[in-house]
Amino acid sequence: MGDESNTLRVLVATDCHLGYMEKDEIRRFDSFEAFEEICSLAEQNKVDFVLLGGDLFHENKPSHSTLVKTIEILRRYCLNDQPVKFQVVSDQTINFPNRFGQVNYEDPNFNVGLPVFTIHGNHDDPAGVDNLSAIDILSACNLVNYFGKMDLGGSGVGEIAVYPVLVKKGTTFVALYGLGNIRDERLNRMFQTPHAVQWMRPETQDGMSVSDWFNILVLHQNRIKTNPKSAINEHFLPRFLDFIVWGHEHECLIDPQEVPGMGFHITQPGSSVATSLIDGEAKPKHVLLLEIKGNQYRPTKIPLRSVRPFHYAEVVLKDEVDVDPNDQASVLEHLDKIVRNLIEKSSQPTASRPETKLPLIRIKVDYSGFSTINPQRFGQKYVGKVANPQDILIFSKSAKKRQTTGVGNIDDSEKLRPEELNQQTIEALVAENNLKMEILPVDDLDIALHDFVSKDDKMAFYACLQRNLEETRTKLNSEADKFKIEEEDIIVKVGECMQDTGGRSVTAQSNLNSFSDDEDTREMLLSARTTNAGRKASGFTRPSKDATDVAKTGTSRRGRGRGTASMKQTTLNFSQSRSSAAIRSEEVQSSSDEENETNEANEVVESSEPEESPQQTGRKRAAPRGGRGRGRGATAKRGRKADISSIQSMLMSKDDDDDDEDDRPKKPPPRVTRNYGAVRRR
C-alpha cells in the first residue's frame, strides 16, 4: 500500500474509560496517560482519523476534572494546521444529529488536523429527558464527531435505521456504520424482529456500484455468550460488512478473526486501562492501525507502553504440597511467596515499558477445605509496593469438579464476569411474582432503574414517566379526533329533537338551563300545581295568564319524584359525557295538600314581577309563611340564578296577543353554568 493518496489510515481503539479511579492517589492518571499515548500514536503514524469504539468516559456524568483533562488532550493533538486528506460525501445532517450537522474539520472557525470519530458505550450512553451524554459536550465543542446515536423512544422493540458515514479518499471508498450501545436484551429482540434494524446502503452514483464500498461497522455490545439473550451473535449482522470493530469487551483480541460463513472479520482491541482485575485484563494492551485501499486492508497492532503492569494468578490451596490446612501460617507464607515473585517480575524494565510503575496484583485463591484470610490485613505489608494493596486476594470456592474427558475445557471467554453476577432485572421480578404491569411498561422501568443506579441519573424515572404520558396523550388525542362531534352539530341535533317534541321545547330549554337545581325545580312544580288547582277548584282567584301558560305547557323536574301521576318521558342522548337533557311532561293530579299550598304559591308568583332588573333575578326570596315547604323560594345552588321569574319572562316574550306585555322590557335568558351544552336559540 505504497500509494498514500488512495490509502486511508485509521487508528482504532476502544474502552478508554477516562476518569476511572480518579480518586485513587496511585491510579488516578492511568486512563488519561493511556489516552494521551493513543493520540500521540495517531500523530506519529500520520493517520487520517481516530476511530473509537465506545466508553470514552467511565461514567455517564464525568467530573469537571475528567472533562477538563479530556478536552486538554483533544485540543493538544486534534487542533492543528495539518491538512485533512479525505472527504465525507454522505448527508452529514443525518450522520451527526447535532445543532451544526457537519463534520468538525469543515467548520471554518476551527483548525482540526486530526478528526476523531466515536460512538457511545454503555458507560457514557445518552440519558435523561434531553437524551444527552458527555460525548455530546465534546461534540458541541467541535472536538469529536459523534455518530451512531439512535433515538429509540418509547417502549416495545422499536425500530432503527443505521446510516453510514461515507468517506472518500482518492479511489478508496469507505462506508462507516456506527451503532452506539443499546441494551443487549432489546437489541437482541430487534435483530430477531423483521425490519426492526434497517441497514442503509450507499447509492450508486458516478459509475460506482455498491460493491465498491469497503463497509466497516463499529458497535459496543456484549459478545460473551454466557446468556444468549444478553449478548449479540455475530450471525445477526449483515453479510455485506467487511470489517467489524467490537467494543465493550476488555480482553485484547486485536488480530482480526474471520467469522465462518459470514465473510467479515472482527477485531476486539479491548480496553486501554484495566478496570476489572480478571484474567482477560492481564493480557498486553494494544491499538490497531488499519490501512485500507480499495477493498483490501492491512492491520498492524501497536502495543501501549504507558499501561500499568497487571499480573494475575490462580491458586488452589488443596493442590499445593507445602500448605497445611491446619496451619494458617503455611498458607500465608505460600501466598506471600507468590506475590513477591509477581512483584519482582513486574519490576524488571522492558523495551515496551521503559518507566516502571507500581504493578497491579490479583491472586484468585480457591480455599476449599481451608479458612479464609483477611485480604486487607494481608495487603498492608505491600503498601508502596503494589498499586492495589487492599484487594490483592480474592477468595472463592470451586463447585463440583468439571468433567473434562471428552468434553474439553471451557474457554476463558465463557467465564462469568464479576459485574454480571447477582443482578436481577425488573422483568425477572415481575415474572417471579406473577405481577401485571398496567401503567408503565416493564422494559422502560428496567432501563430507568439501570440509569438511576448505575449512572446516577436522578431524573431517570421522571423521564420514563413523562415519555409514557406523552405517548398516552398522543394516542388518546388521535382516537378522540376520529369521533369528535362539533358543538354546532350538537346544537342542530338538540334543535331537531326539540322540534319533534312540539310545544314542549320551551320547557325543555328551561330544563336544560337549570335541570340540576332541585329548589328551582320545586318552584316550577309548585307553580304548575297552583295553576291546576285554580283551574279545577272554585273559590280561588283566577291565576294570571303566565301561570296558565306554564300549566298548559307543563314543567320539568328530575326523575326522582313520587306520586300516582302517569308520566311520559323523552330522552335526548348526546355523544359527549354529561351532556344529556330530559324532556318530561306530566299531568299533575290535584291532591289534598294542594289547597294548603296554593296561598303560598300565589305569593311566590306575585313576588316575581317582570319589572325586576336582570341583576335581581337570582336574588334570594323572602321566606313564605308556613315554614319550610316545597314551594319555598331559595337561592340557586352553586351560583345558579334560574328561578320562576326568568321562566315567566321567557314565556311572556313570546306572547304576541297580550297588549300589556308589549311595553315590558324583555329579560335576558338565565346564565348557563358548567359544561352541560345548553341550547342556543336562533
The pLDDT tens digits of the residues spanning 636-670 come to 444 444 455 555 555 555 454 444 544 555 555 55
Q: How confident is the model at residue 376 (pLDDT cuts 50, 70, 90)?
A: confident
pLDDT at 115 over 90: yes
Would you put residue 622 in left (φ > 0), alpha (ψ -120 to 50) or beta? beta
pLDDT at 561 over 50: no
Evaluate whether 368 touches 397 at the Cβ level (below 8 Å).
Answer: yes
For residue 234 the three cell numbers come to: 455475530
Q: Give DSSP secondary structure letters for 556-585.
A: ---TT---S--EEEEEEE-SSTT-EEEEEE
pTM given for the model: 0.62
**pLDDT for the residue numbered 201:** 92
pLDDT at 113 over 50: yes
26 contact partners, CB below 8 Å, separation of at least 6: 358, 387
pLDDT (average), residues 389-398: 87
* SS3 annotation, 606-651: HCCCCCCCHHHCCCCCCCCCCCCCCCCCCCCHHHCCCCHHHHHHHH
Evaluate whether 13 touches 45 at the Cβ level (below 8 Å).
Answer: no
pLDDT at 530 over 70: no
Q: How confident is the model at residue 112 (pLDDT cuts 50, 70, 90)?
A: very high
Q: How confident is the model at residue 284 (pLDDT cuts 50, 70, 90)?
A: very high
Q: Which of 214-223, 327-336, 392-401 shows the highest mean pLDDT?
A: 214-223
Would you put residue 154 in left (φ > 0), alpha (ψ -120 to 50) or beta? left
User: pLDDT of 571-595, one tens digit each?
Assistant: 434 344 444 434 343 443 444 454 4
H-state helical runs in 483-554: 487-500, 505-514, 518-536, 545-553
Higher pLDDT, 115 or 591: 115
Q: Which helix (H) or strand (E) holds 177?
A: strand 172-179
**Percent of the chain whose predicted confidence (pLDDT) is above 70:** 63
**pLDDT for the residue numbered 524:** 56
Distance (Å, whole) CA 55 – CA 122: 7
User: pLDDT of 483-493, one tens digit each?
Assistant: 665 556 677 77
Nearest Cα to 41, choosing from 9, 80, 7, 68? Answer: 9
Examine the residue annotation and report whether 286 is marked as an active-site residue of this protein.
Answer: no
Higher pLDDT, 7 or 566: 7
Higher pLDDT, 99 or 20: 20
Nearest Cα to 61, choosing from 131, 135, 134, 129? Answer: 134
Q: How confident is the model at residue 65 (pLDDT cuts 50, 70, 90)?
A: very high
Higher pLDDT, 434 or 159: 159
Evaluate whether 649 touches 618 at the Cβ level (below 8 Å).
Answer: no
Nearest Cα to 366, choosing from 408, 320, 323, 398? Answer: 398
pLDDT (average), residues 216-221: 95
Higher pLDDT, 237 or 617: 237
**pLDDT for the residue numbered 100:** 87
Evaluate whether 88 touches 167 at the Cβ level (below 8 Å).
Answer: yes
**pLDDT for the residue numbered 525:** 54
Q: How confident is the model at residue 514 (pLDDT cuts 50, 70, 90)?
A: very low
Distance (Å, whole) CA 115 – CA 174: 16
Beta pairing, strands 286-293 & 253-258:
unpaired
Q: Which of 129-143, 169-183, 553-567 has the lowest mean pLDDT?
A: 553-567
Strands (E), 165-213: 165-169, 172-179, 197-199
Catalytic option among 17, 58, 120, 123: 123
Higher pLDDT, 444 or 271: 271
Evaluate whether 2 touches 291 at the Cβ level (below 8 Å).
Answer: no
- Its sign, for the CA torsion 58, 59, 62, 63, is negative
**pLDDT for the residue numbered 526:** 55
638 contact partners, CB below 8 Å, separation of at least 6: 673
Q: How confident is the model at residue 2 (pLDDT cuts 50, 70, 90)?
A: low
Q: How confident is the model at residue 76 (pLDDT cuts 50, 70, 90)?
A: very high
pLDDT at 218 over 90: yes
Q: What are phi and psi of 373, to 5 degrees?
A: -120, 145
User: pLDDT of 301-329, one tens digit each?
Assistant: 999 999 999 999 999 988 888 888 888 88
Q: Could you give all domains of the chain from N- to C-terminal order, each with its CATH number?
A: 4-303 (3.60.21.10), 310-348+357-396 (3.30.110.110), 421-497 (no CATH)
Evaluate whether 317 touches 368 at the Cβ level (below 8 Å).
Answer: yes
